[in-house]
Every structure is written in structure tokens, then in C-alpha cells.
């Protein structure tokens, strides 16, 4: 069958402007977009740049956007695309990913360097017994789930933080790091959490669930990140600003059953952080003049709040590290 492709092109270098090339190619009935690209490069345009390795959808190297949707070139079937979509099948890089050349994306900047920054290896305890340890399979199953990730980049592509802050570690790197949190053979959990709590790390996630929605393997990266944050709460949050915010929130709910927003705003900045508190002033003034500023600390306790206090005290005592 004949198929026409409209492919994103860009020469290497910061000054080149992106463009498009159109190719018509004859492919087999069961051909994939990867087959078409290989044929185009072989017969028509040897300079066309694209990546690929496994040819069967399990290595994550050929992630692209086909007709505007994230896909793997090696499993996207040309026949189905030609039947459903526009006359020209569009192929372009995925979002949030810097491009080196054409469809060759810069995985170093996008993902590999970020993973490198998280201490992404097991630190075995030197005194581990030499033989087989008994570990429940439910524990290993959780690790296996996170490790079924094949670094396709789609969670990072859907992330709402990365377009605004490219230096955010991103769901892929964070999910990979999260696996060590539940692996009883690792002895660097606390240390790794401290690395992940730094600015641009796990606390920069807005838990919008885009990552979980984009993951093709149901690894649920957003949930993994939230669980890691809960672990950090148990160990004691090391990111100072976040710690102030979270502890103030918890103290407020524990005391009165609901949130004292005024107190939260102040304590997040820090009671002695003059500069930070001054920054809040313009918004606070506007809010006060419009009658929407909750008065901090003069915060009445809800009905039944002592029951809430009791539950929270119990939960804090119960927490297992």
C-alpha cells in the first residue's frame, strides 16, 4: 500500500529552524511507521534521523507523536493510520523533549541525566547473608511493577510541570527512584529521599495524575511519587519550606479538625522569615479588603474535633518506617 508521511525535520544546532518533509512510500500491508521510516531513509532520504532498537514495542527508544498522539513508531500500524486519519500521516517528536536532529530526541537531557542524579542503584548492606533471603512476593511484586518501566518517556511527556520547569526531575526518574523505597535489600532509603527532596525533586510534583494517565504499563507514576512523599513524611521531611508547610497543615487539622489557612500561609514562609512574609503582604492586603482573608490563629474548633485529634495522634503513633 502507498502511504504519505509528513515528518518533522530539524538540523542539529540551536540556530536551525524546524521544518517538515513529505514522503510517499510503498509499504507492506502490516507495515509499521518504523518500517516506513527505515524504507524512506534507505531509498529516499538517507539524512532522515530517527531512533529505534527492539522493533516490537518493549524498549521505549522510538517514542514519537503520530497524528498528534504519543506512540511507538515500531508498533503504530500504517494501515490503521491511513484508514482512520488524515491523508498525510504526521510524525514528530514528543512534547517536553529537546530535539537533536529530526526525530532524534535528546534523551540525556530529558531523562538519563535526571535518573543519574537520584542515586539510582541499590546500596546493599555489607552484612547481607551470602545466600537466599526469604522475602514475601508481595514485596517483590511492588518492586517489579516499578521496574516494568521501559523508559518510554510518555509520563514525562504528559507532565504539567516540565513545560514550565524543565529542570524538574519528572515522573520517570522519580518513579524509578521510588522502587528502592520498598526494597528491603536497599540501605540508602533515607539518603536517597534526601536527594529527591531537594528543589526540582519530588515536592515539585503537582500530583495532577497526568503521568499515571499517560503510562502505557499501568505503573501509576503519580501514585508512586505520592507514596514516596508519604515515606518522607514518616522519616521527617528534609526540604525545609515543604516541611514547614506540611507540619503546619497537620498541626492545624489536628487541633481544630480543619485547615487554618492564614496560619498555614504564615508558617509556610516561617514566622521569622521577614522577607518571605513581606512577599505575601500585597495579596494579604487585597484579600483583607475584599473580606476573604481568614484570620490566622483565631480559628474555631469544629464540632467533634477532639475525635479528629485522637485519630491523628493514633495514626502518627502507628506509622511504620
Partner 1 sequence: MKYAFYPGCVSKGGCPELYPSAVRVATKLGIELEEMRDVACTGAGVLPQYISDPINARTFAKAERMGLPIMTICSTCQGVFGQANLRLQDPEYRAKINREYLAEEGLEYKGTTDIKHLLWVVMEDYGVDKLKAMVARPLTGLKVSPFYGCFLRRPPEVVIPSKEFAGRKTYLEQLIDIVGAELADFAGKGKCCGFPVLTANEESSLGMTAKHTIEAKSKGADCMVTPCPLCHLSLDGNQPRAEEQEGKEINLPILHLPQFLGLALGFTPAEMNLKRHIVSTQAVESKVNMIA
Partner 2 sequence: MQEFDVLVVGAGAAGLRAAIAAKQAGAAVALLTKVHPLRTNTGLAQGGINAPLGADDSPEAYAGDILQAGDGLCDPGVVQAFTQQAGDAVMWLEHMGVPFNRGADGRFDRRQFGSNGKARSLYVDDRTGHVVMQVLYEQFQRARIPLFADWFVTSLAIDSARCVGVTALGLRSGVLDSFGARAVILATGGFTRLFMPSTVSIGTTGDGQNLAYQAGIALKDLEMVQFHPLVFPGGNALMITEAVLAEGAQVVTAEGQPIANLIGATRDKICIAILQALQNGASGVALDLTPIGAQKLHSRFSQTNELIRNFTGLDPAKDPIPIRPVAHRPIGGIEVNVSGQTAMHGLYAAGECACTGLNGAGRLAGNILTEAVVFGARAGEAAAAYAKSAPPKAFPADRLEEEKKRLEALVSAGKSEDTAGHIHGELGRLMSESAGAVREGSALQAARGRIHALKERYAQLRVRNESAIYNYELVAYLELGAMLNLAEALVVAADARNESRGAHRRSDHPARDDRNGLCHSVVTLVQGAPQADTKPVVAL
Interface ranges with partner 2 (CB under 8 A): 11-12, 28, 30-32, 35, 38-39, 41-43, 46-47, 49-50, 52-61, 74-75, 100-101, 104, 107, 112, 116, 120-122, 124, 128, 130-132, 134-137, 140-141, 143-144, 147-148, 150-151, 183, 185-186, 217
Please report whether residue 104 would count as binding partner 1 according to CB under 8 A: no
Cα–Cα distance, 169 to 162 (Å, whole number): 8
DSSP structure class, residue 85:
S
Say how many Å lie between the first and final Cα of the chain, rounded: 60
Diameter over CA atoms, the chain: 76
Which residues inside 167-226 make contact with partner 1, applying CB under 8 A? 168, 199-200, 203-210, 212-213, 220, 222-223, 226
Please report whether residue 114 would count as binding partner 1 according to CB under 8 A: no
Instruction: Look up cell 508521511; give the residue.
Output: 5
Phi-psi sector, 218: left (phi>0), alpha (psi -120 to 50), beta: left
Binding mask 225-244 for partner 1 (x = CB under 8 A): -xx-xx--xx----x-xx-x
Of these, 1, 135, 139, 164, which contacts partner 1 (CB under 8 A)?
164
Cα–Cα distance, 270 to 240 (Å, whole number): 10
Return the number of other C-beta atoms located less than 10 Å from residue 17's C-beta. Answer: 7
Residue 6's H or E segment, with its range, is strand 2-9
List of residues contacting partner 1 (CB under 8 A): 160-161, 163-165, 168, 199-200, 203-210, 212-213, 220, 222-223, 226-227, 229-230, 233-234, 239, 241-242, 244-246, 249-250, 253, 257-262, 268, 282-283, 286-287, 290-294, 302-305, 307-308, 310-312, 314-316, 318-319
Amino acid at each position: 500500500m502507498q502511504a504519505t508521511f509528513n515528518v518533522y525535520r530539524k538540523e542539529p544546532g540551536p540556530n536551525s529552524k524546524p521544518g517538515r518533509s513529505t514522503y510517499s512510500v510503498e509499504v507492506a500491508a502490516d507495515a509499521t511507521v518504523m518500517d516506513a521510516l527505515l524504507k524512506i531513509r534507505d531509498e529516499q532520504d538517507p539524512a532522515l534521523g530517527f531512533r529505534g532498537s527492539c522493533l516490537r514495542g518493549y524498549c521505549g527508544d522510538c517514542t514519537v507523536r503520530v497524528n498528534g498522539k504519543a506512540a511507538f513508531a515500531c508498533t503504530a500500524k500504517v494501515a490503521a493510520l491511513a484508514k482512520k486519519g488524515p491523508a498525510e500521516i504526521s510524525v514528530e517528536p514528543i512534547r517536553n523533549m529537546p530535539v537533536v536532529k529530526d526525530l532524534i530526541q535528546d534523551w540525556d537531557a530529558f531523562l538519563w541525566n535526571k535518573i543519574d542524579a537520584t542515586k539510582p542503584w541499590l546500596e546493599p548492606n555489607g552484612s547481607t547473608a551470602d545466600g537466599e533471603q526469604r522475602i514475601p512476593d508481595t514485596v517483590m511484586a511492588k518492586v517489579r511493577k516499578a521496574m516494568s518501566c521501559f523508559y518510554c518517556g510518555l509520563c514525562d511527556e504528559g507532565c504539567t510541570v516540565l513545560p514550565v520547569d524543565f529542570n524538574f526531575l519528572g515522573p520517570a526518574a522519580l518513579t524509578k527512584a521510588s522502587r528502592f523505597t520498598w526494597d528491603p535489600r536497599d540501605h540508602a532509603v533515607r539518603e536517597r529521599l534526601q536527594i529527591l527532596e531537594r528543589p526540582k525533586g519530588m515536592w515539585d510534583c503537582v500530583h495532577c495524575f497526568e503521568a499515571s494517565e499517560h503510562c502505557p504499563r499501568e505503573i501509576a507514576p503519580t501514585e508512586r511519587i505520592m507514596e514516596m512523599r508519604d515515606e518522607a513524611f514518616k522519616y521527617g521531611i528534609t526540604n525545609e519550606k515543604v516541611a514547614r508547610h506540611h507540619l503546619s497543615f497537620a498541626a492545624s487539622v489536628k487541633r481544630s479538625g480543619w485547615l487554618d489557612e492564614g496560619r498555614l500561609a504564615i508558617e509556610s514562609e516561617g514566622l521569622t522569615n521577614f522577607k518571605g512574609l513581606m512577599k505575601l503582604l500585597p495579596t494579604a492586603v487585597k484579600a483583607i479588603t475584599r473580606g476573604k482573608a481568614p484570620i490566622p490563629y483565631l480559628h474555631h474548633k469544629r464540632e467533634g474535633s477532639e475525635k479528629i485529634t485522637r485519630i491523628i495522634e493514633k495514626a502518627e503513633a502507628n506509622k511504620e518506617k
